[in-house]
Each structure stands twice: as C-alpha cells, then as structure tokens.
Amino acid sequence: MSDTQYFTADDLKLAYTVSGEGPPLVLIHGWPFHKANFRHLIPLLSQSYTCYALDSAGMGESEWTKDTDLGFHAHVDRTMAFVDHLGLTDYAVLGHDTGGTIARLLAVKDAARVTSVTAIDTEIPFQFPPTVTLLQKLHRNPLTRLILKAALSSETFVKSGSGYGGFFADASHFTDDFMQLFVHSWHRTRHAYDGLMAYLCAVEPVIVDTLDQVHADTNVPMLFIWGTRDPIFPVKYAREMVANIPGDARLIEIDKARFLPHEEQPEAVAEAVLAFLQKSDVAA
C-alpha cells in the first residue's frame, strides 16, 4: 500500500492512502480492522480505479479522543469531509462489515456524489450479531474488561475459532502479517486498544435496524459480496435482505470464505467488484 497521508475533520487527524488511477473508489474498513485490511484487494482494483482507503476515527492511524462521536452517522459525516478534502464530485464506495453500513448510509446522505455501493459481509437489519453484543457487555463491565483485553492479546485465543480464527474458512490465511496488523497493533498503546473498543461499543442495533429503509431510499446500484461460511452475518439472512431491496441490488457469494472474503479470496472479490463498477460506470 502507498504512504499514509492525513487530513483533519472534527479536529482529528485522519489517515488514508491513495493508490492507482481512474475513477474514484473510497474504501471503508470494519471492526477490528483498519485500511490495511484492503491490502490484498487494492492492488487488483487500483489498476482501473483510484483507491482511497480511509482509517475511521479511533482505528488504525487515525486519531480519536474520549469526546469523539464514533457512531455510524458521525463516521458518515467524516467520510463526507474526506471526500470534500479530496475534491471529488462523484465516487463509488466500498465497505466491509461496519464500513458496509457506513457506505450504505453515505449513499443516502451523500446521494449527489455516490455512484454505487459495494458492501462486503456487513450488518443485516434485525440480525445484530450476538458476539458483538457480548463483546460490548464484557468491555463495559469493569469486572470483565481486563479479562477481555487479555484474551484479545493472547495469540492462542485470537487464533482459535472463538477468536479471530473464526473469521477464516482456511486457517492458513491467518498469517503472521495478519496477526501483526490486526492483533498486535491494537495493543501497542492503551489509547489504541481503547479506540478499538470505543469504536465497537458505538455500533448500535437501532441504526442497523433502519437499513431496510436506507435500502429503499438508495437510488444507486448496490453489490453485496458474502463469504458463504460467514458465522457473524450468515449468508441466509443476506439473501433475504438483498431479495427485499426494491432497487438495483445483487448478491455474489464467495465460496471457501467466511467473514473476510477479501482476505481469503481477493481475486474472486476483485473480479466481482470490477465487473459491477464497470457496469455501473457504463450505466451512469
């Protein structure tokens, strides 16, 4: 990935990278990740698109404070400020997990500029993941907060099926690089770890449950990409969600992948994204 650059929004320095040439594509990561979660995807997409990968506030190399609003709508507003900073008059947006929800909210709030939405393994209305609810409760309780932090810093736990190992259909994709980027990096300082958990605790089911209306209000093409073995957002609910969207929406399922198809099957994901974007560009 290219060198990190910064801009300021809400008095926070937010980090991003720029790669490639062509029409603009803004990429928004989910939890517990940052912009490097697209490191396998960007080289494939940047041959045809200019990829702008943003670290959301509280995550990666972006700043946050205890007063920072880390809710979905605040992330949307800061992403719009990012687009303003770049001087873009239109852009496609791609998001994974919570980034996929931010992308969908953007399509309504920034409708004049968003040309298409790609969402990978993302929130489904009225299907809030029990694991997320549990993690939020554990972190908010002083008696269990330290136990949770110890678990999330333990290589044995995070590699297990109960930890981040459950993100993968094939455990060989849980590499030392992944461990360094998305486990060790969060424990480099207390502030980094607290940002990770503050972001998670700001994920609200009440916002997720509005997504049916968001989909109905969206006037651009939407592509949903799903790992067929995702245990967090089961694909059967994704099928129902996409089938109920009244506009231009389609679902592509990626075999041999769970929560992170862009980590496990980046070529298949890139092929689907490029075909969708190119069709959307022609239609526009």
- Domains observed in the chain: 5-128+205-283 (3.40.50.1820)
Q: Is the dihedral of CA 275, 276, 277, 279 positive or negative?
A: positive
Question: Global pTM?
Answer: 0.97
Q: What does the buried/exposed string (b/e) look like for 244-253 if buried means 16 or more CB atoms within 10 Å of the residue's CB?
A: ebeeebebbb
- What is the DSSP-derived secondary structure letter of residue 232? S
pLDDT confidence of residue 2: 81
The CA–CA distances, whole Å, from 258 to 120, 253, 273 equal 11, 10, 18
Residue 103 and residue 82 in contact, taking contact as beta carbons nearer than 8 Å: no
Give the model confidence (pLDDT) of 55-96 as tens digits.
Answer: 999 999 999 999 999 999 999 999 999 999 999 999 999 999
Determine contact, residues 93/106, Cβ cutoff 8 Å: yes
Tokens 């489904």, located at residue: 124
- Residues in the chain with pLDDT < 50? none
The whole-chain average pLDDT of the chain stands at: 97
pLDDT at 280: 82
Position 268, amino acid: A
Cβ 235 vs Cβ 227: under 8 Å: yes
**Residue 26: predicted pLDDT:** 99
- Please tell me the predicted confidence (pLDDT) of residue 281: 74
Q: What is the pLDDT of residue 84?
A: 98
* pLDDT tens, position by position, 207-242: 999 999 999 999 999 999 999 999 999 999 999 999
284 vs 27, 219, 221, 250, CA distance in Å? 20, 12, 10, 17
